[in-house]
Amino acid sequence: MSLAEFDITGQKVLVVGAGRGIGKGIALAFAEAGADVAIASLTEATVGKVAEEIRAMGRTALPVTGDATKTADMDRIASQVLSEFGHIDTLVTCVGDSIRKPVVKLPGTPDEGMTEDDWNHVVNINLTEAFQGCRAIGPHLLERGQGSVINISGWASFRGRPGYSAYDAAKAGVMR
């Protein structure tokens, strides 16, 4: 990335959900633009690989693990990153998953309806993780009087689809 307007050398970024997919791509893009990046995901294996890629770019990478839907885990992640980096300039929340099921069993179809556990799982992963990230990092950003929060959502937040009620509602919640 050679454009000067994308140079954020020295900024400190936490990307939650950076172990794979869109979150990994975002973490790598921030590193390419010059940021030091904390990579948070559920497993050490995924954050370790992304950290290696970031270090290969000559940037600092801090791999941290935890469940972004849990208060204790997000508090620990925030504490680790702030202890290592001193501050955070940008928080990106980018965790997502879906279960394709109708809310109720539809007549004439083999699909069972969504259970309460299914619903809670999808809403927690797609909406609660954004809340937890903002709750854990927000006070730090407010105290510094600067910083950015980027909560990744998607086109599903604008248009519901059959079988994706929980996912679409959660992504809409992130946007609102």
Indicate which residues carry an active-site annotation.
Answer: 167
Q: Strands of 36-41's sheet, edge to edge?
A: 61-65, 36-41, 12-16, 90-93, 148-151
Q: How far apart are CA 14 and CA 92, in angstroms?
A: 6
Helix, strand, or coil here: 157?
helix
**Dihedrals phi, psi of 136, to nearest 5 degrees:** -80, -35
Q: How far apart are CA 122 and CA 165, in angstroms?
A: 10
Q: How far apart are CA 148 and CA 51, in angstroms?
A: 22
Q: How far apart are CA 40 and CA 51, in angstroms?
A: 10
